[in-house]
Amino acid sequence: MYKKILIATDGSKHIDRAISIIIGFYKKWDSQIVIFHSIKHWLEKVSPPSHGWTVPYASNAYFNA
């Protein structure tokens, strides 16, 4: 029925049960499994605009060069 099955995982214990169910579909439909693993991104603290170019100034400098 489906050619590709996407599995989105965050590494939690709940995904184990879902994967066992998805494996059943995979075998039944002769599908391909694609796994996407998500993680929480840690962003660094951004400097105040006085310490660098802000977006409007940077884009003007780029397009006017």
For the chain, the structural domain boundaries read 1-38
Which residue, 21, 30, 23, is CA-closest to 2?
A: 30
pLDDT recorded at residue 58: 53
| pLDDT given for residue 52 in this prediction | 56
Residue type for 10, please? Answer: D
Q: What is the pLDDT of residue 23?
A: 86
Predicted TM-score (pTM) of the model is 0.47
Residue ranges, the chain, pLDDT below 50: none
In degrees, rounded to 5, the angle at the alpha carbon of residue 41 between the alpha carbons of residues 34 and 54 is 120
